């Protein structure tokens, strides 16, 4: 997959000479949260629809409101992880793309990038989602891969989904015919299993012991 295939060029950027009324009308016709402001093929900034609707001076030009401009963009070197980070950090569903000379060449749409992500094996291939947790000083991705592979599993992808001051939570996508062996192996390496699995014999054993204890106490 090539991110270049997802570059969009169907949107005419706004310019400083446009009136606020014209830009408001442009937002009505699209589904984007921001629009790029371009002058002489260079990105000056972006203006958000949420800021624009607060303006009442519809006859004034965009140039009178440069203080509202936001500054963020992607480059041709960015990978899809960086793109998702930029989308999230700037709370936008449009991301301007600049070339190596900092000229505006198009934009990425959030939905397209999410579609790109959905085509990766991490989401697209069938597998089991396993969430593990360990203290920050002792988790190791090479160790995680080794645990999965030595138990005849295939690691389709991994993602850090939560961090605290002491612990890191990692979501794994695994292809395996015996997830229980992998789960028990993670426990032996002192990983905590966060997700719930029907094939987890450890939990089944705890359940049986609890039921036995309850019967004993009721005697």
Low-confidence ranges of the chain (pLDDT < 50): 202-213, 215-217, 219
Q: In this structure, are 131 and 110 located in the same domain?
A: no
Q: In this structure, are 31 and 15 located in the same domain?
A: yes
Indicate which CATH number applies to the domain containing 172: 3.30.70.260
Q: In this structure, are 97 and 132 located in the same domain?
A: no
Q: In this structure, are 111 and 8 located in the same domain?
A: yes
CB atoms within 10 A of CB 194: 14
- What pLDDT was estimated at residue 209? 44
- What pLDDT was estimated at residue 200? 63
Angle between helical axes of 141-150 and 179-188 (0-180°, round to 10): 140
Q: In this structure, are 53 and 133 located in the same domain?
A: no
- What pLDDT was estimated at residue 172? 94
- What pLDDT was estimated at residue 197? 82
Q: In this structure, are 109 and 7 located in the same domain?
A: yes
Q: What angle do CA 174, 145, 182 make, to 5 degrees?
A: 55
Q: What angle do CA 170, 157, 178 make, to 5 degrees?
A: 85
Domains in the chain, number: 2
Indicate which CATH number applies to the domain containing 12: 3.10.580.10
- What pLDDT was estimated at residue 211? 47
């Amino acid at each position: 997959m090539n991110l270049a295939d997802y570059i969009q060029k169907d949107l005419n950027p706004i310019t400083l000479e446009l009136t606020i009324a014209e830009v408001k009308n442009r937002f009505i016709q699209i589904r984007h949260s921001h629009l790029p402001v371009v002058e002489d093929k260079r990105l000056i900034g972006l203006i958000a629809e949420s800021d624009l609707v607060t303006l009442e001076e519809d006859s004034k030009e965009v140039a009178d409101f440069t203080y509202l401009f936001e500054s963020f963009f992607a480059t041709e070197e960015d990978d899809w992880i960086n793109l998702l980070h930029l989308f999230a950090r700037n709370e936008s569903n449009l991301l301007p793309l600049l070339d190596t000379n900092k000229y505006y060449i198009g934009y990425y749409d959030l939905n397209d990038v999410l579609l790109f992500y959905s085509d990766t094996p991490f989401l697209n291939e069938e597998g089991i989602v396993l969430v593990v947790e360990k203290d920050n000083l002792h988790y190791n991705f090479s160790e995680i891969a080794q645990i999965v592979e030595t138990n005849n599993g295939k690691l389709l992808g991994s993602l850090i989904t939560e961090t605290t001051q002491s612990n890191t939570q990692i979501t794994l996508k695994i292809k395996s015919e015996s997830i229980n062996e992998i789960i028990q192996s993670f426990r032996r390496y002192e990983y905590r299993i966060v997700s719930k699995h029907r094939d987890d014999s450890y939990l089944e054993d705890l359940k049986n012991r609890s039921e036995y204890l309850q019967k004993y106490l009721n005697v």
